[in-house]
Chains A and B, each alone.
Chain A
Amino acid sequence: MRRLARPVLLMFLAALLAGMAAFALLGRSGGEARRHADTLAALDALAEAETSLDRDLLRVMAGLLPHYDTLVLHGGRLRQLLDGLQGGTADLPDGALDDYRRLVTAKLAAAEQIKAASSMVNKEGAYLPFAVERYAAAISPARAVPVQQALIGLTTGTAPAAADRLAVLVAGFAAAADPVLAGIGEHMQVLLEQRQVLADATTGYFAIDSRLALDQARDRYMAAYGARQDRSAVLESGLQALAVALFLALGVAISRLGRAQEQAEQAHGQLVDAVDSLHEAFALFDHGRRLVLCNARYDALFPGHGRIEGFRPLLAVMRPWAVEGEAPLADGGPQQALVVNPVDGRSHLFRSQPTAGHGVVCLFTDITEHRLAETQIRKLTAAVEQSPVAIVITDAEARMEYVNPRFLEMTGYALDEVLGRNPSLLKSGEVVPSVYEEMWKTIAAGLTWRGELVNRRKNGELYWESTTISPIRDGGGRITHYVALKEDITQRKANEDLLLHANTDVERMLFAASHDLQEPVRLMQTYCQKLDRQLPPEAAAAARESMDFIMAAARQAGLLINGLAAYSRSGHPSDAFAPVDCANVARRAVAECLSASPQLNPLIRIGPLPVVQGDSVLLVMLLENLIGNALKFRHPERAPEVTISAERDGALWRMDIADNGIGIERDYLPTITQPFSRLFPRATHPGAGLGLASCVKIARAHGGRLAVESQAGQGTVVHVWLPAASA
């Protein structure tokens, strides 16, 4: 818009000037008409003054004017008029009056001669007759004649030839011895001389044709005036045409300006939108530090302040907000500062920058979250740095980029010895290569690998570490880093070995005990039955009751011993883990259960079941226990139903054994899996209380786990996780 405004302004000024020039020209022509009249009047007045001068000079010479005041007046007027005409007010062509002025000056000089000579001629003309008369009266008439004749000749004027004679005669008088005659001669000589001067001056004066020069000057003036009139007429029409053209152009320019204004408003609107959509608070101040443009975020920066309209007030508001240690805010060059609003606690990065137009542009970037994240990262970093677990981060090519102090402590290496190196640095050679292969396969597939490795410290010492390696992916899903958590488990390993030995001893003893105890229990039962048959039917009811108690105790003892034997076996895989088809296991377990309780007619569904890595005997025991429980705790009003299904869960399979039995009260769920935990009286639900505990033990022995989920009165689902068979 500014780009357009200037030409419009210029055009407007030009049109204005043209208009003003046209008006000035019109005004000038008015003024010119007045000046023209004045000039003509002055020229006329010159002619008139000159005529008056001529007339009065003639009157003086004729003795009709006894003083020269009017001559002075006319001469002065002539000079004054000439000065006025040449003084710049009139539009006379240069030099038009030069000739005339020269002639008038000559005329005035001649007039001065005429004045001076006339005064003498008149004076002597008046005096001489008187002097001659007195002289003649005193001498003889004959001697007086020449003097009287000379006087007549002098006063009447003579022919040139006679004038010469007269001059000789008068010179004779002047040289006469008679002082009176000599005086008359002297006066006559002066008169003669002054008459000659007067005659010459008069001739000269009237020979000066100043009127012609004045007429010529007048003609030149009129010609110039006419030409000027023509020129000004042309100029006037030209200016009018120019003014019209300029005003037309102005109209066009204004309409363009209007369009440009629209565009500018549109652009301004876009600018405002753009500024409003900024994530930063934005404010623009002009060279006078007044607010020109800002967005809503800027206003929101100062709750309770209203809009801050000036840059300096803004600085004044923000100064107390500045974080300590920053350079003080100033109205100067580019600056940036961290400011924290004490009202809402939000942090902003304030930046101000001078603009090309001497204004200032300000941006406030909200970095509160960034600062929080930074704090978080600091905390995390501290956690990682201080972690009791050794942490290693490598790049995708397994070059170590970061290790924490614990790692260095654990391996005995210095930081610069490990950065950029491969963790294989720690290999001891005691681990079979297949472990590493499996590890790489897992993490390259994007999965987490867990395992235990025997590594070597810098000092050559071997140690056990538990390692978890997880890939880190970027936004595009590409693996950029690996992070490894390593725990020195050398000590734990040693403890576990000790514990394993201890456990084995306990189990062996338990097995032996339970095995050896079965025999006396069985004997007790056998002999109790024999004694029962031997008792007479009429035997005391008391004895029969005692007998029943012994029988029940012996049966319970047998169950306990069987359970103990099973429990001791359950943590003890009978042979090495191998792929086991769970469908077979389930069928065998169901068959066992049905043969144990042939009176029941349960509905047992076996879904598609996987092949897991495990021990088939333990797994049959596990399922037999669970299905047995489902049947044992059946609902009294429903035919028992058991559903066995499986679902993949990561590296494991989850088998679900669901029933429609009586369920378990929520309060009992946490303790249900512990050994010797019983929910029901032995009479109604026989068992040793070791079933679920054994199941948990079996699941754990397989690297899996067991969970129970139940709703009282509705049924129970037992989840068992088992490792998938390795392909």
Chain B
Amino acid sequence: MGAAMILALLAGNAAAQGVPRAQEPIRPLQRPATLDTAKVALGKRLFHDPALSVDGTVSCATCHPLEHGGADGMALSRGVGGRLGGANSPTVYNTSLNLAQFWDGRATTLAEQVSGPLTHPAEMAFTWPGVLARLRQSPHAADFQRLYGTEPTETALRDTLAEFERSLVTTDSPFDRWLAGDDDALTAEQKHGYALFKSYGCASCHQGAAVGGNLFQRFGFFGNWFADRGRVGPGDLGRFNVTGKASDKYVFKVPSLRLVTLTAPYFHDGSVADLREAIRLMARYQLGRDMAEGDIAPIVAFLGSLVDPARLERAP
């Protein structure tokens, strides 16, 4: 037994290959310490169950396919009856690290978020009484009874879906291994990209474990992107729609970049399909600089190191 322990220690040292990088603006992702696996499993089944939409055609996974980075790759998603939504579907991965949910942060918690897509007429277009009545007749009812001691209720449905979403953390990416001290986890280009990412000032907003998601920021400090893009709509007002404060116009939640290489198109309106263009636009309007073309590729390479696509969840 003693030998086994020494081996384990040696293996740990071998994996680390050095001291963890603790002072970086980006931090390693960690699975939540406490997760109720039974609730996670029920949440996952519900996440994939189209019964949650009014006509039984759309599940959460329709717009958030887990194996594709938790987003559907469309500029704007289509809900029941093919209706077009008002915003680009963000990924469901690592959402527990967000300071709030939705682009405008109108839901403070994951549980609160559930009713958004569930009742949105362009998404699942259902009602709470409707979905609960349907769930009571479904095979899930027994699971609710087992886990919550009740028939399906709004609180329980919110809780089990939120619990599942809390489990969606993309740990163990190359970058996280590098942060843990594994120098070989990143290529030289990726390391160069990370240096550029910091020196350009991207990391002043896109930082933390989720590389973003933990603050609100105005879109467009240098120049007016909305005016340049044209056709400003209500969805472009962002957090103003929640707080009503003038200073919150065009303010959005800074999105997490953890799965950015997997979740094109970009921005709240899904208006940019190319990541390089998105980086270019960000440098222009947020950093006030025109990024050198040669700098973009390393940054993209670095961004690619933030997630290990092979480790993503699969549909059940």
Q: Which residues of A contact B (CB under 8 A)?
A: 66-69, 71-72, 75-76, 79, 109, 112-113, 115-116, 119-120, 122-124, 126-127, 183, 186-187, 190, 197
Closest beta carbon of chain A to B22's beta carbon, Å: 10
| Cβ–Cβ contact A115 & B215, under 8 A | yes
CB closest chain-B residue, reference A68:
B214
Given A66-B25, A120-B217, 7 new contacts (CB under 8 A): A68-B99, A69-B209, A75-B99, A116-B218, A119-B204, A120-B204, A186-B222
| B26 is an interface residue with CB less than 8 A from chain A | yes
- Please give, as numbers and ranges, the residues of chain A lying within 8 Å of B208 by CB-CB distance: 67-69, 72
| Cβ–Cβ contact B288 & A190, under 8 A | yes
| Cβ–Cβ contact B214 & A72, under 8 A | yes
Closest beta carbon of chain A to B252's beta carbon, Å: 11
Contact sample, A vs B, 8 pairs, CB 8 Å cutoff? A68-B99, A69-B207, A72-B97, A72-B214, A112-B215, A116-B215, A119-B215, A123-B287
Closest beta carbon of chain A to B213's beta carbon, Å: 8
- Please give, as numbers and ranges, the residues of chain B lying within 8 Å of A71 by CB-CB distance: 214-215
What are the nearest 8 A-B pairs in CB distance? Answer: A66-B25, A123-B201, A123-B204, A69-B208, A67-B208, A67-B207, A68-B214, A119-B204
- Please give, as numbers and ranges, the residues of chain B lying within 8 Å of A127 by CB-CB distance: 201, 287, 289
Closest beta carbon of chain A to B300's beta carbon, Å: 21
Number of residue pairs A-B, CB distance < 8 angstroms: 74
Whether A122 contacts B204 in the complex (CB less than 8 A), given A67-B26, A187-B288, comes out as yes
- Please give, as numbers and ranges, the residues of chain B lying within 8 Å of A124 by CB-CB distance: 201
A79 to B214, CA, bound (A): 15
Whether A112 contacts B216 in the complex (CB less than 8 A), given A69-B209, A127-B201, A190-B288, comes out as yes
| Cβ–Cβ contact A67 & B27, under 8 A | yes
B193-235, CB < 8 A from A: 201, 203-205, 207-210, 214-218, 221-222
- Please give, as numbers and ranges, the residues of chain A lying within 8 Å of B214 by CB-CB distance: 67-69, 71-72, 115
| B108 is an interface residue with CB less than 8 A from chain A | yes
A119 contacts which of B97, B98, B217 (Cβ < 8 Å)? B217
| B243 is an interface residue with CB less than 8 A from chain A | yes
Please report whether the interface of chain B is mostly helix, strand, loop or mixed according to DSSP: loop
| B24 is an interface residue with CB less than 8 A from chain A | yes
B1-36, CB < 8 A from A: 23-27
- Please give, as numbers and ranges, the residues of chain B lying within 8 Å of A115 by CB-CB distance: 214-216
Q: How many residues of B contact A (CB 8 A)?
A: 30
| Cβ–Cβ contact B243 & A68, under 8 A | no
CB closest chain-B residue, reference A119:
B204
- Please give, as numbers and ranges, the residues of chain A lying within 8 Å of B215 by CB-CB distance: 68, 71, 112, 115-116, 119
- Please give, as numbers and ranges, the residues of chain A lying within 8 Å of B24 by CB-CB distance: 66
A115 to B97, CA, bound (A): 16
- Please give, as numbers and ranges, the residues of chain A lying within 8 Å of B204 by CB-CB distance: 119-120, 122-123, 126
CB closest chain-B residue, reference A121:
B204
Closest beta carbon of chain A to B87's beta carbon, Å: 20
A66 to B98, CA, bound (A): 17
Most buried by B among A69, A115, A126: A69
- Please give, as numbers and ranges, the residues of chain B lying within 8 Å of A197 by CB-CB distance: 247
- Please give, as numbers and ranges, the residues of chain A lying within 8 Å of B209 by CB-CB distance: 67, 69
Closest beta carbon of chain B to A522's beta carbon, Å: 150
- Please give, as numbers and ranges, the residues of chain A lying within 8 Å of B221 by CB-CB distance: 120, 190
A170 to B24, CA, bound (A): 33
- Please give, as numbers and ranges, the residues of chain B lying within 8 Å of A126 by CB-CB distance: 201, 204
A112 to B105, CA, bound (A): 12
- Please give, as numbers and ranges, the residues of chain A lying within 8 Å of B23 by CB-CB distance: 66
- Please give, as numbers and ranges, the residues of chain B lying within 8 Å of A66 by CB-CB distance: 23-25, 203, 207
- Please give, as numbers and ranges, the residues of chain B lying within 8 Å of A69 by CB-CB distance: 27, 97, 207-210, 214
Closest beta carbon of chain A to B161's beta carbon, Å: 18
CB closest chain-A residue, reference B207:
A67
Whether A190 contacts B27 in the complex (CB less than 8 A), given A69-B214, A72-B214, comes out as no
Closest beta carbon of chain B to A132's beta carbon, Å: 14
| Cβ–Cβ contact B205 & A119, under 8 A | yes
- Please give, as numbers and ranges, the residues of chain B lying within 8 Å of A68 by CB-CB distance: 99, 207-208, 214-215
- Please give, as numbers and ranges, the residues of chain B lying within 8 Å of A112 by CB-CB distance: 215-216
Most buried by A among B204, B209, B218, B251: B204
- Please give, as numbers and ranges, the residues of chain B lying within 8 Å of A76 by CB-CB distance: 99
A166 to B98, CA, bound (A): 38
